[in-house]
Structure 1
């Protein structure tokens, strides 16, 4: 798999490889396409992909791995329970159809006839009985094995290498509809060769079986796997964290040209509902996987899922973006400063547009309907796929997006646009940075983006209990024409003694559409309660962070990045030089600090940490508010620490960025040694 850490051993399921590493929707909702083929689909011709005619839209279903791994709770009862929940909770109706078994379903030895057998404790009635039960619910069963001598678990379950034709026939006899084919213990056999053999074995069974190639993107399967299977992993394993999800998303986004009906980029399964991210982050996860036309394989144990998890997973309008029959993967229009715009062409001519905020603070993100690929028009209809509201716009598509959030729109050049109220944008100038006990001045803006006017417009800003929020200018406007703004100045005071951290402010507007309909819209902002840096400055690692994101594991204080767990780093060491203070990061990384306009310079000694061995290449940047103040060239492991210094005079926020040097993120452990700020 791809190595994001400093050693060949990772806290993931592949730890055993050792020496073998390798338009608009209508307001009422959307219709999800039916399954492409039934089990009666004829076998593909010789040499065709095993799943020809299958997976014409990205597969949707469940896989147990992310929630259970090989624990005892993965068993026949769980699998049947998931099938029941698919039906009872409406997930089947929403389009989910595959109930997939991952590793550890089998015994550790083949039988006397060389065949695989189900673990009798986990699956006492065998796999066929499970398949029959799943089929009785109108669903399909998936199974797992590896293109090696053993699978990826640590027990030693047999893989399919050398047994491809007999195993494939056994799966077909059991009634399997989907095969996930992993990459462990492959003896160095050429990837295309071993995945071709299983392609041919599946085709020879005569049963339509969706073929999922899981070789972690090691050999660029997007360049060759469409001839073999229906989907291919583009990355290493996901885990239930913001940093993991973000890193995988960034690796998968550039591969849009490879995806299409019957052959999909697979950035791994969903973590929605497993508990390691917020619901805002899970909505981003689900939104971006849908815009990327990725398979939607639920990884949470649905027997324990919250109502919020079911709400996310069963959003028909977002699912319809993923399942659009045109089969286009979304492409990146812009990503400046962590403000992403990704657009996906839809079969009906509309565009799905994701406004995604990577950063730790609310951000204004904007584009236009024409930039998203729509023709020039008088006005457009805009459907917000999470709030389920429809408005009209003169062409602008803008929103203030919460930290780690995504606004997902479906935009169309719709002749009925005038039936909808005008879209308004709610925005906050800059970041809400508040020192406890002191009054901060903020400005909010309500802007009419619509072709029609908004009338009787009002704005209200509310904060946490005990905070004082007072308007310092007008909070109402009789009317706003297209492009006009109601700007309101506010005085915001957090009580003395308020702890540093993030707190919610909410901006709400009410207005009337030309039809007379009253509209209410609101957006949350994160206010940061901050502490001014000490006179004279000091080590940045000793100051509280406004936000931090990291490509692998957390940003570490005064140690290297280490592995994925917090606190597992080592002394910061670059070219043999040890630094007692600083930050250990991993590309791609961004860390923000409050400077309060009182500081002048940031200095550091930077480079790739020695813990990576002979690997890793990164570049460092220091930003002063929204301006890049200093940067290095690409630094590699064989280079000594490099000095970097930036003028940050007057900056409210200092941001430290590490990029991957342009060659991907393998072993990109980046040290900010002796990191100081002068104030």
Structure 2
């Protein structure tokens, strides 16, 4: 699926048509294919479940160009060959990446006189077989793309495979293709199982081993049937390079763990790591959670322009080993209270990989135990931090203070050699890191021993930006911290007068040594927010500074609808034919926070799905006060007029405005907080 079907495409007069609908309109005016395979003459084949074809026994790893290039001219033979070169030169091949996959726009607009597909002569002057030969010469494999419809998903509408399955499959095999991504546009309403099964039979008839990737966007619940058809299947609409999109897709994919296994995988879409729309912390979360979910790892960034940080994330072999574990278990949710997620994945060697994932916009303590993640009872355990590449012992507690939007990824095992490692300690923060310029705020830090052995000569330091005053009000060190106990230090933090509102980095660090003399240094970053109290009286929230914001597509817009791409590309907010001048335009899943400092009483708004989504879109609006939901609308649709919402936020330090997807994914979910006011 292209990005556009999960979005809406703007046309004049505030009329919006999804790319899927646009594709159907194009197909309605298209002529019939020149040559089509006849179902009555299709080769007979003995069909077995696709997951038994011996392919993709671990999730496929490789590259796909779509997220970084779409159909731009830079997608061409030179780029594809260059990616293959980089796989070898940068060690990605050695780390496990195999497939160099072409997405849409590789083909000519029409089939030839024999009904065959041909490569675009400008993009691929030497043809696809020459590209495949080059990729194979590097010890890699080539993937290709087409759609289970009359045309592909690109706006031009290149030839699709519906009615041409056997000839196209044989052509791919003759070219040396090793992987097929089979999309869902312009499908003429033909039953999905039938369309995708026909291509499976066509691929098997070629006799060439070709990994089969079903891309029908989760519309027909492929996790319930596609293991008998393909090696992997998309569970969601397209991902975009934003925190909100990645988060929404992760939440849709996590509950489907039972469907995944060797040869048949849930596919939450390609990686966005390195495309620039998220922070490195968020990209590490993206890579961690895709690995814990045993998802295909298909790089979606242009590796010719990638930063060292991007390569560091993508080539972390300890995290890749989680994804590629032969047992093939997808991680399961242990808990997810208040945006504090614990997801555990069983590994072939009996260990558990535990993701402590922080969905929220501030540092959070996330905890579980060895028993809760499924490990047997033991005197002690080892815990390996897969991003820090360090090993500790623990008495059974698994806990960390996780930065905003961050993930701590641990491999935990009942290990008889636990005493050889230093004790794990948790660095914690108590108190709200919200402070007004020129005024002091109290913070309390803890250094807690989670290990079976004591931590000795323990000391803590807290550092911040230049010019900030950070003063310890209690001891910062102690001779020893026994198992389960903590060094607790009170601090006073003061940003200079005149400090601009915004987010600033602080860091808590600890030093200690193990009973065997190993010296350990540990640190955790977190963010302090310099805030300003809202003005007295009634104010539009779109006129006040945001504490934090995340959005499913594009930025949160002030006083316009959500434009999905860059700031300022929205339209006037319109719900049920009524135009509103003030408010926030968002796209599910979305969360926007405001500092209220305990001085405000009520939030009011008129809310609904923006008219620009046509007849699509379902959302739900929520208002939270200091972590407690105080108002919600239930599911709203485009057919509904603007609905009033009011919430009592008396005494709250932070108000959070949330829009969820209504339970059906984020397609078309433009949502407006119109006439959004707060009384203080």
Q: When the two structures are superposed, what TM-score results if normalisation uses the length of structure 2?
A: 0.92
How many Å apart are 1:113 and its aligned residue?
2.3
Compute the displacement of 1:271 (Å). Answer: 1.2
2:25 to 1, 19, 22: 19
Quick check: 434-443 or 286-295, which moved more? 434-443
Distance 1:95 1:220 in 2: 29
Q: Are 2:567 and 1:561 aligned?
A: no
Cα offset, 1:592, TM superposition: 0.9
Report what 1:519 is aligned to: 520
Contact residue 20 and residue 188 of structure 1 kept, 8 A? no
Change (3 A) 1:105 1:336: same
Q: Please give the alpha-carbon distance, in whole angstroms, between the structure 1 residues aligned to 2:129 and 2:575.
A: 56
1:176 deviation in Å?
Answer: 1.1
User: After superposition, what is the alpha-carbon deviation per residue over 1:259-283, rounded to whole angstroms, capped at 9, x for unaligned?
Assistant: 1110111111111112222111111
- Residue aligning to 1:278: 279
Q: Deviations 1:377-424 (Å, cap 9, x if unpaired)? A: 222111110000111111221111111111111111111111111111
SS where residue 172 of structure 2 aligns?
Answer: helix
Asked if the contact 2:8–2:17 (Cα under 8 Å) also holds between the matched residues in 1, the reply is no
Deviations 1:583-632 (A, max 9, x none): 22333222111111222332333333444444444333222212223333
Match of 1:25 in 2: none
Query: SS where residue 598 of structure 1 aligns?
Result: coil
- The count of corresponding residues between Structure 1 and Structure 2 is 659
Judged with a 3 Å threshold, the aligned counterparts in structure 2 of structure 1 residues 99 and 44 are, in CA distance, closer, same or farther, namely farther
The range that moved more, 134-143 or 45-54, is: 45-54
1:434 matched to 2:432? The reply is: no
Once residues 6 and 113 of structure 2 are traced to their aligned partners in structure 1, the CA distance between those partners, rounded to angstroms, is: 41
The match for 1:129 is 130
Output the CA distance in 2 between the equivalents of 1:481 and 1:298. Answer: 45
Distance in 2 of aligned mates of 1:661 and 1:175: 43
Aligned partners of 2:181, 2:580: CA distance in 1, in Å?
45
Q: Distance between the aligned counterparts of 2:342 and 2:212, measured in 1?
A: 32
- Call closer, same or farther: CA 1:79–1:307 in 2, change over 3 Å: same
The alpha-carbon deviation at position 187 of structure 1 amounts to 1.8
Q: Aligned pair in 2 of structure 1 residues 578, 66: CA closer, same or farther (>3 Å)?
A: closer
Match of 1:295 in 2: 296
Contact 1:328 1:346 in 2 (8 A): yes
Asked if 2 retains the 8 angstrom alpha-carbon contact of 1:11 and 1:564, the reply is no
Please give the alpha-carbon distance, in whole angstroms, between the structure 2 residues aligned to 1:212 and 1:3. 18
Residue 32 of structure 2 is matched in structure 1 by: none
Whether 1:534 and 2:535 are equivalent positions in the alignment is yes
What residue in structure 2 maps to residue 84 of structure 1?
A: 85
* Pair 82,669 (structure 1): closer, same or farther in 2 beyond 3 Å: closer
CA–CA distance in 1 between the matches of 2:187 and 2:654?
A: 49
Q: Distance in 1 between matches of 2:120 and 2:69?
A: 16
Where does residue 448 of structure 2 map in the other structure? Answer: 447
Answer yes or no: is the 8 Å Cα contact 1:445–1:485 preserved in 2. yes
Partner of 1:583: 584
Partner of 1:375: 376
Deviation, structure 1 residue 255: 1.3
Q: Is the 8 A contact 1:357 1:404 kept in 2?
A: yes
The equivalent residue for 1:179 is 180
2:524, 2:46 → 1: CA distance? Answer: 54
Question: For residue 37 of structure 1, what is the aligned residue in structure 2?
Answer: none
Match for residue 496 of structure 1?
Answer: 497
Distance 1:635 1:141, change over 3 A: closer
| Local SS of the residue matching 2:435 | strand
Mean alpha-carbon deviation: is it higher for 171-180 or for 644-653?
644-653
Higher deviation after alignment, 315-324 or 349-358: 349-358
How many Å separate the matches in 1 of 2:456 and 2:45? 61
Shift of the 613–132 alpha-carbon distance from structure 1 to 2, 3 Å rule, reads closer
In the other structure, the counterpart of 1:35 is none
CA–CA separation in structure 1 for the residues paired with 2:246 and 2:453: 39
Partner Cα distance (1:56, 1:331) in 2: 20
What RMSD, in angstroms, separates the aligned Cα atoms of the two structures? Answer: 2.4
Residue aligning to 1:412: 413
Would the aligned equivalents of 2:180 and 2:211 in 1 still touch at CA under 8 Å? yes
Map of 2:63 onto structure 1: 62
Q: 1:116 to 1:673 in 2, by over 3 A?
A: closer
Contact 1:50–1:211, Cα closer than 8 Å, also in 2: no
| Secondary structure in structure 1 of the residue aligned to 2:442 | strand
Query: Closer, same or farther in 2 for the Cα pair 1:319/1:656, shift >3 Å?
Result: same
Q: Which runs of 5+ in 2 are unaligned?
A: 29-43
Distance of 2:503 and 2:370 partners within structure 1: 33
- How far apart, in 1, do the equivalents of 2:115 and 2:264 lie? 32
1:428-464 CA-to-partner distances (Å, cap 9, x unmatched) read 1133112111112111111111111111111100001
| 2: CA distance, partners of 1:206 / 1:92 | 26
Change (3 A) 1:590 1:430: farther
Match of 2:206 in 1: 205
**Cα distance between partner residues in 1 of 2:165 and 2:548:** 49
Structure 2: distance between partners of 1:50 and 1:172? 19
Equivalent residue runs for 1:628-647 within 5 Å: 628-647=629-648
Q: How big is the shift at 1:658?
A: 2.3
1:106-137, Cα deviation, whole Å (9 max, x unpaired): 22222232222222222222222221221121
Q: Distance in 2 between matches of 1:280 and 1:13?
A: 32
Partner of 1:39: none
* Equivalent position of 2:478 in the other structure: 477
Question: Which residue in 2 is equivalent to 1:38?
Answer: none
Residues 453 and 513 in structure 1, CA contact (< 8 A), matched pair in contact too: yes
The answer on whether the counterparts of 1:46 and 1:200 sit within 8 Å (CA) in structure 2 is yes
**Contact 1:606–1:670 under 8 Å retained in 2:** yes
Unaligned runs of 5+ in 1: 23-42
Deviation, structure 1 residue 524: 0.6
Q: CA, structure 1 residues 527+178, in 2 after alignment: closer, same or farther (shift >3 Å)?
A: same
Find the aligned partners of 1:615 and 1:116 in 2 and give their Cα distance: 35
Could you say what secondary structure the match of 2:378 adopts?
A: coil
Alpha-carbon distance between aligned partners in 1 of 2:6 and 2:89, rounded to the nearest angstrom: 40
- Distance between the aligned counterparts of 1:339 and 1:84, measured in 2? 40
Output the CA distance in 2 between the equivalents of 1:87 and 1:491.
Answer: 51
SS in 2 for 1:545: coil
Structure 1, 565-574 or 242-251: larger mean CA deviation? 565-574
Where does residue 672 of structure 1 map in the other structure?
A: 673
Q: Which residue of 1 aligns with 2:267?
A: 266
Residue 357 of structure 1 corresponds to: 358
How far apart, in 2, do the equivalents of 1:12 and 1:324 lie?
38
Q: CA deviation at 1:328?
A: 0.9
CA distance in 2, matches of 1:13, 1:320: 37
Does 228-237 or 574-583 show the bigger shift?
574-583
Per the alignment, in what secondary structure is the counterpart of residue 272 of structure 1? coil
